Structures are given as structure tokens and as C-alpha cells.
Amino acid sequence: MTVRVTTEWKGTIPMTELTETPMPGLGARWDMVTRSRRAVAVISHQTGRRDLVIYGQDDPDAAAASVELTTDEAQTLSELLGGSRIVERLDALAHQLHGLLIEWVTVSPASPLAGQTLADSQVRTRTGASILALIRDGQAIPSPGADDLIMAADTAVIVGDPAAVTKLTALFDATGPLSSK
């Protein structure tokens, strides 16, 4: 997926084109080529770790240098580079597509869905949103089946229109108007 941001920085320099490459089971890689023709990538691991990779000038497929960053280090570097504004825009682009919203929501221990199977929870019928994956103890359960359990502390990757996602988020948080249903 190629993401183009058309906002101009300082009124004259267009934002660089980024290419996202999904890395199943690992995360995603974001690639760009700088104005000076250097290929740079950020590998965003599902664990929160980030790798900053700079590719060689002679061989754009060979890493010349790589720096492993913790979540805090990546965030600090991003702030130093003025990234919070860019990240907010990319996050909005990546998570909302043609009226669909994708969210990552932690299942509260107080959620009425905690401990239920997907079939018993009737998530799609009740909210109109779907669960794309559950992440439990750092392990992904992609496309969970009807017999898979929703457990407290799971991270649910959900998709739907904004109203449906809001309804399901309320059920997972056990703080919204649907939590008593």
C-alpha cells in the first residue's frame, strides 16, 4: 500500500512518499527515499520495538546501518524530528478507509464479553463491527473462529463503520451505554 500525504511543509516542499509493506507476524515496514536518494525504512514490530534502517548507496537492498529503538526511544526521536503531526495524519489515513475504521482495543476485565466465545458474544449482530484478530500475551490469533474466547487483557483488532466500532469499543471497555446489555 502506498500512502501519499499531500500536505506541504513550510509551504513549498511536498511530503515524501511512503510505502508500507505488511510483515505478517512481525508488524510493518515503512520505506522512503530521501531527497538525497538514500533509502530509509522503519520496521514497526508488533511488540512496540522499532528498527531504523539505512540502506547502502551502492546496493539499495543491503542495510548499511540499523538501529533498534524501544517505543520510548522511537517516540523521542520522532518528536525531535517533528513527527507527531505526521504520525497523526498517517495514523488517520491508515485506520480509516472508505468509511471503515480499524481500532485496537484492550478488553477490560469488567467487559461483559470477557470469557465468552465469539459465537456467544454475538459481537457482529450486536454492534455491526467485526473482530479481525485477537492479540493475547504477544501472540496474534488472526481471523478468530466462533469457538475462540475473548479474554480480559486481549487486544482486539476491530473493523466497522465508526458507529459500530464505537459500540464494540464500549462493550470492551465496559464503560459505554451497551455494557449493561
Q: Read off the pLDDT band of 53 (50, 70, 90).
A: very high
Do the beta carbons of residue 21 and residue 15 sit within 8 Å? no
CA distances from 2 to 20, 30, 31 (A): 6, 9, 10
Q: Read off the pLDDT band of 70 (50, 70, 90).
A: confident
Q: Is residue 80 part of a domain?
A: yes
Higher local confidence (pLDDT), 20 or 126 = 126
Nearest by Cα to 19 from 35, 37, 43, 36: 43
Q: Read off the pLDDT band of 147 (50, 70, 90).
A: very high
List, in order, residues 6 or more apart from 128 with CB less than 8 Å away: 160, 161, 163, 164, 167
CATH number at residue 122: 3.30.70.1450
Give mean pLDDT, residues 46-68: 85
Q: Is residue 178 part of a domain?
A: no
Do the beta carbons of residue 115 and residue 109 sit within 8 Å? no
Indicate if 67 and 123 belong to the same structural domain.
no
Do the beta carbons of residue 37 and residue 58 sit within 8 Å? no
The range of the structural domain enclosing residue 153 comes to 100-173
pLDDT in tens, 156-180: 988 888 899 999 999 998 754 443 3
Rounded to whole angstroms, how far apart are CA atoms 59 and 35? 17
pLDDT in tens, 31-48: 888 888 888 999 888 777
Q: Is residue 180 part of a domain?
A: no
Is 8 a residue whose pLDDT tops 80?
no
- Total number of domains in the chain: 2
